[in-house]
């Protein structure tokens, strides 16, 4: 890769050999990234971003301790100094993250290529126009971005893995007002795409849909409150499985007693119809890659199989500590961060019911078409999620749109009580935060029925 051309191969392998004498595992991680983005806000081009960053990280795992250092200076002197800092920490025997940065090249903002940025500006301009379909849309923010990440992992397992990933993301946040109330519509679109495939993404429709959602919520009545049957549509994405289940199945949380699923491998934790999978191999999905940030090939990991907890997601540290299989879930935000256990594309697998039959089965309840953010306690599994698009269900039919609803419950309890699964599946995209790091993910679920859950409303 061009980025590693800045460093001699001899220096890299000499450095790795030196580090390998201090622990069971050592690695060198090299990264170069470029992000271009355009933002339209309040009918004008708000800003254009063109950022470039690159650097090199060193890491050693010795028992249950991790030693980590990085630099953004590719000179032989800087790499040698970074290695010396790390070996000093290793000799002292305490864990430490060390940053050796060059003052004059932490981040560069470059003048964008005329053609490249002009295309991106046109996209967000068209998105902005599409969202202003009604005089009640008082504010609209449209964003389009592309981030190219080139990485290389060299480690003492004998791997030398290079990878290029291009993340494409676009969304519009539209705000509607009738003079008394304000409501927002926000729908993102994106994933891993190359230049030919990105042309097929319909960002105009996403902007129109965001405005439609804001207007619909403006005229919606307040959601009813209380215990009721809730149907989550596949269009809601997998916020529920990601937040209420997925984080609890990450080995660093589960093995340290910070998860409601701790110590439950082989036990029944969900209904018989529930199978949960984390799969980093799916084409074009935002959480996909060929190799994780530790050089482990991504895979299809069955976490819960027909209600039984089968495995946790692991990185190298927790795979070794707990003597469980590597799953390809060691991820980092950038070279400035040590890898930790993270989800990729996490989903509840489809069932056999039609979505229409699931809705018909409910006499009175709530249909959730889209989910927003929320809060989850991974130790207890308790959660609160925002419903950004919902409808009442009366006599098996979708009726009035409702606004300002929340779902309040417990993840494991809900997983045990889900009694109908649709044959469809829908994906949502996002950026997952954990321990101060953010990584791209996606999540998914079919249409499903929860017989009884608390709905917060009025």
pLDDT digits (tens, 9 = 90+) for 118-165: 889 999 999 999 999 999 999 999 999 999 999 999 999 999 999 999
Percentage of the chain lying above the pLDDT 70 cut: 95
Of 6-15, 325-334, 381-390, minimum mean pLDDT range: 6-15
Whether the pLDDT of residue 440 is over 80: the answer is: yes
Whether the pLDDT of residue 105 is over 60: the answer is: no
Specify the pLDDT at position 101.
59
Specify the pLDDT at position 199.
82
> What are the phi and psi torsion angles at 117 (to 5°)?
-75, -30
Give the separation between CA 329 and CA 301, rounded to whole angstroms. 10
Whether the pLDDT of residue 48 is over 60: the answer is: yes
Cβ 274 vs Cβ 306: under 8 Å: yes
* pLDDT bucket at 197, cuts 50 / 70 / 90: confident
* pLDDT bucket at 207, cuts 50 / 70 / 90: very high
pLDDT digits (tens, 9 = 90+) for 270-288: 999 999 999 999 999 999 9
Q: How far is CA 188 from CA 9, 171, 174, in A?
A: 41, 4, 12
* pLDDT bucket at 411, cuts 50 / 70 / 90: very high
* Residue partners of 75: CB distance under 8 A and separation at least 6: none
Specify the pLDDT at position 5.
52
Give the separation between CA 409 and CA 456, rounded to whole angstroms. 10
Cβ 171 vs Cβ 159: under 8 Å: no
* pLDDT bucket at 3, cuts 50 / 70 / 90: low
Give the separation between CA 36 and CA 50, rounded to whole angstroms. 5
- The CATH topology of domain 3-219 is PmbA/TldD fold (3.30.2290)
Q: How far is CA 302 from CA 66, 129, 236, in A?
A: 28, 43, 22
pTM over cut 0.95: no
Taking every pair of Cα atoms in the chain, the longest distance, rounded to a whole number of angstroms, is 73
Mean pLDDT throughout 227-233? Answer: 98
Specify the pLDDT at position 117.
86
Specify the pLDDT at position 106.
30
Specify the pLDDT at position 112.
44
Give the separation between CA 205 and CA 58, rounded to whole angstroms. 44
Specify the pLDDT at position 343.
98
Every domain of the chain and the residues it spans: 3-219, 226-456
Specify the pLDDT at position 141.
97
For the range 305-308, what are the long-range contacts, defined as Cβ-Cβ under 8 Å and sequence gap of 24 or more?
305/275, 306/272, 306/273, 306/274, 306/275, 307/268, 307/269, 307/270, 307/271, 307/272, 307/273, 307/274, 307/416, 308/266, 308/267, 308/268, 308/269
Compare 422 and 107 and report the one with higher pLDDT.
422
Whether the pLDDT of residue 61 is over 60: the answer is: yes
Specify the pLDDT at position 94.
77
Give the separation between CA 408 and CA 385, rounded to whole angstroms. 7
Q: How many residues does the chain have?
A: 458
């Amino acid at each position: 890769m061009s980025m590693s051309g800045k460093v001699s191969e001899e220096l890299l392998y000499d450095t790795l050999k030196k580090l390998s004498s201090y622990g069971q595992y050592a690695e060198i991680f090299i990264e170069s990234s470029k992000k271009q983005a355009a933002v339209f806000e309040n009918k004008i081009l708000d800003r254009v971003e063109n950022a470039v960053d690159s650097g090199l990280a060193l890491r050693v795992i010795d028992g249950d301790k991790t030693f980590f250092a990085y630099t953004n200076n590719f000179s032989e002197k800087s790499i040698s100094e970074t290695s010396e800092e790390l070996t000093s920490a290793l000799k002292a025997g305490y864990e430490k993250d060390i940053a050796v940065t060059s003052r004059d090249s932490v981040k560069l903002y470059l003048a964008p290529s005329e053609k490249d940025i002009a295309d991106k500006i046109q996209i967000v301009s068209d998105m902005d126009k599409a969202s202003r379909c009604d005089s009640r849309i008082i504010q609209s923010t449209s964003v389009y971005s592309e981030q190219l990440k080139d990485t290389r992992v060299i480690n003492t397992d004998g791997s030398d893995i290079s990878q290029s990933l291009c993340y494409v993301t676009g969304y519009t946040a539209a705000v509607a007002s009738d003079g008394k109330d304000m409501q927002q519509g926000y729908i993102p679109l994106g994933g891993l795409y190359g230049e030919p495939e990105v042309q097929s993404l319909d960002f105009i429709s996403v902007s129109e849909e965001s405005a439609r959602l804001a207007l619909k919520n403006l005229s919606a009545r307040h959601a009813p409150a209380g215990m009721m049957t809730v149907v989550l549509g596949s269009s809601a994405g997998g916020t529920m499985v990601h937040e209420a289940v997925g984080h609890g199945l990450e080995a660093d949380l589960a093995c340290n007693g910070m998860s409601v699923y701790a110590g439950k491998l082989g036990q029944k934790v969900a209904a018989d119809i529930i199978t949960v999978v984390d799969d980093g191999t799916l084409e074009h999905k935002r959480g996909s890659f060929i190799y994780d940030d530790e050089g482990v090939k991504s895979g299809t990991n069955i976490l819960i199989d027909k209600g039984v907890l089968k495995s946790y997601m692991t990185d190298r540290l927790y795979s070794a500590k707990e003597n469980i299989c590597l799953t390809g879930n060691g991820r980092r935000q950038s070279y400035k961060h040590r890898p930790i256990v993270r989800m990729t594309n996490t989903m509840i697998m489809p069932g056999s019911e039609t979505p229409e039959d699931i809705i018909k089965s409910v006499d009175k309840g709530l249909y959730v078409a889209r989910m927003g953010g929320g809060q989850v306690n991974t130790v207890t599994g308790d959660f609160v999620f925002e419903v950004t698009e919902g409808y009442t269900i009366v006599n098996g039919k979708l009726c009035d749109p409702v606004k300002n609803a929340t779902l309040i419950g417990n993840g494991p309890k809900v997983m045990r009580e889900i009694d109908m699964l649709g044959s469809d599946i829908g994906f949502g995209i996002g950026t997952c935060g954990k321990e101060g790091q953010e990584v791209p993910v996606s999540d998914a679920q079919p249409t499903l029925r929860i017989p009884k859950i608390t709905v917060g409303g009025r």
